[in-house]
Structure 1
């Protein structure tokens, strides 16, 4: 069955969706819109995190419009033990200021599979190896309109 966790507009600074059942290898569809001013404000990125807590992030998904080191690139990583792991870069960048987007995330104990609005797909290793995670977090310049778990 499909569950909708959010079905309204949220301007996020940080939001944690906790699910007692856990986020597992079901499909997680996120729909939203980037802030129209994101390229001219102090924040020029947004983040989707999946993990066990804010201190143990298995999947950090971070589209960056321009942060002085990266322009129009998605940076993915994991965080545990107070340290970031090696970054993975994805060049497919279907995000534009003020435009709608859709991100579909599905995972197993070995990898996260991400499908973007433009149909491109990439994989990121599930470095923690868990089959379920209890926290999904968001922050940055995006409005999340809905999260559906199928």
Structure 2
């Protein structure tokens, strides 16, 4: 299944299509910031975009009462159902956030900043949901989509990550005929660091770019792509001027994900625990989100937190 390109920095009110509608295991990930003076905002997962469509999930943080609260509801045939209320909101005014919706058979799992927040039982069939809308006192940096991971195949021998020469030649031939194209919106330099992943619908790798403004607590880096069928390994590096602050390196022949830092031209001790959430040989998109906290990076794969890595360099020095 082809991956849907994320929406970046959409103007509000925003309404966008969910390609292929929702299905079990799909995730939708929003990153953004609640405005300092926000009274409320909402995210709707809805059935169409015209007229007054049914809303399968209305996710509505509110800050205009004595307590911050999240209200969830469903609208069917222009009538709202009974509200479900959750305290506290965990999405404070003026703060950055990552909000994920995971589609389960019986419910939506809502994950806020990497932690499970609530479950919302389906009142409408999620297969009808083909639209997402956002409005209110919030700035959205990105809205990304990920399809479910596929069960791991039996172990296979490792192969080089680079595409075959014939594939590279075909790619160059197509590019020379069509001329240069504008980069996809989700390869914005403020969103993606250095990527060594064969990415569908994206730039040719290896890919490198400057992250304007550097990193800071609350900033998120989102990488979405497809692992090459013959990949031995890939890596995502967050770099500073003389080294690597975070080296995130899934290795398929060892079935591990290695995390490390390169400081003063020397690699530190590797961190190897935490499992292997990536699989080669499948066409499913993978969504990797690196969340910058005050003390560590938190790495989420398809909406699930898998790893944390303590900072060895100041965030503001990481620019590539």
Q: Same fold by TM (over 0.5)?
A: yes
- Structure 1, unaligned runs of 5 or more: 39-43
Match of 1:75 in 2: 71
Structure 1 segments (4+ residues) deviating >3 Å: 1-4
Q: 1:15 to 1:35 in 2, by over 3 A?
A: same
1:49 equivalent among 41, 44, 47: 44
Contact 2:22/2:103 (<8 A) preserved = no
For the aligned residue pairs, the C-alpha RMSD in angstroms reads 1.9
- Give the deviation of 1:129 after TM superposition: 2.2
Distance 1:19 1:93 in 2: 26
Contact 1:79/1:85 (<8 A) preserved = yes
Match of 2:18 in 1: 19
Match of 2:170 in 1: none
Distance 1:4 1:94 in 2: 28
Contact 1:24/1:132 (<8 A) preserved = no
Contact 2:22/2:126 (<8 A) preserved = no
Normalising by structure 1, we get a TM-score of 0.84
Match of 1:94 in 2: 90
- Structure 2, unaligned runs of 5 or more: 147-320
Aligned residues: 141
Normalising by structure 2, we get a TM-score of 0.41
Distance 1:129 1:24 in 2: 10
Q: Secondary structure at the match of 1:21?
A: coil
Query: Which one has a bigger Cα radius of gyration?
Result: 2
Contact 1:28/1:104 (<8 A) preserved = yes
- The structure with the greater share of residues assigned to strand is 1
- Give the deviation of 1:121 after TM superposition: 2.6
Q: How does 1:1-150 map to 2 (within 5 A)?
A: 3-7=4-8, 9-12=9-12, 14-25=13-24, 26-38=26-38, 44-53=39-48, 54-66=52-64, 68=65, 71-117=67-113, 119-150=115-146
Q: Which has the higher contact order (CA 8 A, sep 6+)?
A: 1
- Give the deviation of 1:145 after TM superposition: 0.5
